[in-house]
Amino acid sequence: MNTKVTIAGVEFKNPVMTASGTFGSGMEYGEFVDLNRLGAVVTKGVASYPWPGNPTPRVAECYGGMLNAIGLQNPGIDVFLERDLPFLKQFDTRVIVNVCGKTVEDYLEVVEKLGDTEVDMLEINVSCPNVKEGAIAFGQNTCALSEITAQIKKHARQPVIMKLSPNVTDIAEMARAAEAAGADALSLINTLTGMKIDIYKRQFALANKTGGLSGPAIKPVAVRMVYQVANAVKIPIIGMGGIGNAEDALEFMMAGATGVAVGAMNFVNPYATTQTIEGIEAFMEKEKIDSLTDIIGCVK
Amino acid sequence: MAGKKKEWAKVVSQKQLAEGIYDLWLETDLASQAGPGQFVGLYPRDKSILLPRPISICEADRQLNRLRLVYRLAGQGTKEFSTYKPGEETALLGILGNGFPLEAGIGKKVFLIGGGIGIPPMLQLAKELQAKKQILLGYRNDQLFLRDELAAQGEVFVATEDGSAGTRGNVMDIISEEGLGAEIIYACGPLPMLKAIKVYAAEKGIPAYLSLEERMACGVGACLGCVCKTRETDHHSHVNNARICTDGPVFLAEDLEL
Cite the active site residues of A: 128
Q: What is the mean pLDDT of residues A236-255?
A: 98
| Residue-by-residue DSSP string for B19-80 | TTEEEEEEE-GGGGG--TT-EEEEE-S-TTS-SPEEEE-SEEETTTTEEEEEEE--SHHHHH
CA distance A40 to A274: 12
Q: Which residues of B touch A248 (CB under 8 A)?
A: none
Q: Which residues of B touch A43 (CB under 8 A)?
A: none
Same domain flag for B10 and B78:
yes
Contact criterion met (CB < 8 Å) for B222 and A29: yes
Task: Give the domain A5-54+72-195+214-295 fold.
Answer: TIM Barrel (3.20.20)
Same domain flag for B52 and B179:
no
Q: In terms of Cα–Cα distance, which of B158, B14, B127, B126 is closest to B73?
A: B14
Q: In terms of Cα–Cα distance, which of B247, B205, B207 is closest to B230?
A: B247
Which of B55, B73, B96 represents a domain boundary (last residue)? B96
| Interval A184-220: pLDDT, tens | 999 999 999 999 999 999 999 999 999 999 999 999 9
Please report, for the domain that includes residue B108, its CATH number. 3.40.50.80
SS3 call for A5: strand
Q: Which of B3, B51, B240 has the CB atom closest to A268's CB atom?
A: B51
Question: Which of B218, B231, B256 is the best residue to mutate to test the A interface, defined by the most A CB atoms within 10 Å of its own CB?
Answer: B218
At B1 the pLDDT is 46
Query: What's the pLDDT band for A19 if we cut at 50, 70, 90?
Result: very high
Q: Chain B: give the shortest CA distance to residue A50, in Å.
A: 6
Contact criterion met (CB < 8 Å) for A28 and B218: yes
Q: Chain B: give the shortest CA distance to residue A59, in Å.
A: 6
Cβ–Cβ contact B24 with A under 8 A: no
Q: In terms of Cα–Cα distance, which of A136, A112, A117 is closest to A126?
A: A136
Q: In terms of Cα–Cα distance, which of A147, A164, A300, A296 is closest to A236?
A: A296
CA distance A106 to B169: 52
Please report, for the domain that includes residue B88, its CATH number. 2.40.30.10
- Which domain covers residue B155, as residue numbers? 103-255
Same domain flag for B109 and B81:
no
Largest CA distance in chain A: 56
Cβ–Cβ contact B84 with A under 8 A: no
Contact criterion met (CB < 8 Å) for A266 and B4: no
Residues B149 and B93: beta-carbon distance below 8 Å: no
Same domain flag for B157 and B251:
yes
CA distance A144 to B79: 48
At B2 the pLDDT is 60
| Interval A250-300: pLDDT, tens | 999 999 999 999 999 999 999 999 999 999 999 999 999 999 999 999 999
At B88 the pLDDT is 97
Same domain flag for B139 and B221:
yes
Query: Is cis: bond before B249, omega within 30 of 0?
Result: yes
The whole-number mean pLDDT for each consecutive block of 10 residues of chain B, a chain of 258 residues, reads 86 98 97 97 96 98 97 96 97 97 97 98 98 98 98 98 97 96 98 98 98 96 97 92 97 96
Q: Which of A29, A60, A63 has the CB atom closest to B215's CB atom?
A: A60
Question: Which of A58, A80, A203 is the best residue to mutate to test the B interface, defined by the most B CB atoms within 10 Å of its own CB?
Answer: A58
Q: In terms of Cα–Cα distance, which of A211, A157, A151 is closest to A178?
A: A151
The chain A residue lying nearest B217, using CA atoms, is A267
E strands present in B108-245: 109-115, 132-139, 155-160, 167-168, 184-188, 208-211, 227-229, 241-243
Q: In terms of Cα–Cα distance, which of A157, A226, A236 is closest to A190?
A: A226
Q: Which residues of B touch A213 (CB under 8 A)?
A: none
SS3 call for A82: helix
Q: Chain B: give the shortest CA distance to residue A21, in Å.
A: 6
Q: Which of A59, A63, A75 has the CB atom closest to B225's CB atom?
A: A59
- The pair phi, psi for residue B200, each rounded to 5°, is -60, -45
Please tell me the pTM assigned to this model.
0.95
Cβ–Cβ contact B63 with A under 8 A: no
Kindly give, in sequence order, each residue whose CB lies less than 8 Å from that of residue A250, ignoring residues fewer than 6 positions away: A280, A283, A295
Q: Chain A: give the shortest CA distance to residue B44, in Å.
A: 10
Crossing angle for the helix pair A246-255 and A272-286, to the nearest 10 degrees: 70
Same domain flag for B158 and B250:
yes
Q: Which of B3, B43, B228 has the CB atom closest to A31's CB atom?
A: B3
Which of B29, B64, B96 represents a domain boundary (last residue)? B96
Same domain flag for B80 and B162:
no
Which of A113-127, A130-144, B239-253 has the least mean pLDDT? A130-144
Same domain flag for B117 and B245:
yes
Residues B211 and B258: beta-carbon distance below 8 Å: no
Residues A185 and A159: beta-carbon distance below 8 Å: yes
Q: Chain A: give the shortest CA distance to residue B95, in Å.
A: 12
Task: Name the B residues in 29-58 with CB < 8 Å from any A CB.
Answer: 43, 47-52
CA distance B235 to B1: 23
Which of B67, B96, B125 represents a domain boundary (last residue)? B96
Largest CA distance in chain B: 51
As for how many domains chain B has, the answer is 2
Kindly give, in sequence order, each residue whose CB lies less than 8 Å from that of residue A146, ignoring residues fewer than 6 positions away: A177, A178, A180, A181
The complex's ipTM works out to: 0.94
Q: In terms of Cα–Cα distance, which of B112, B108, B109 is closest to B171?
A: B112
Q: Which residues of B touch A88 (CB under 8 A)?
A: none
At B60 the pLDDT is 97
Q: What is the mean pLDDT of residues A4-16?
A: 98
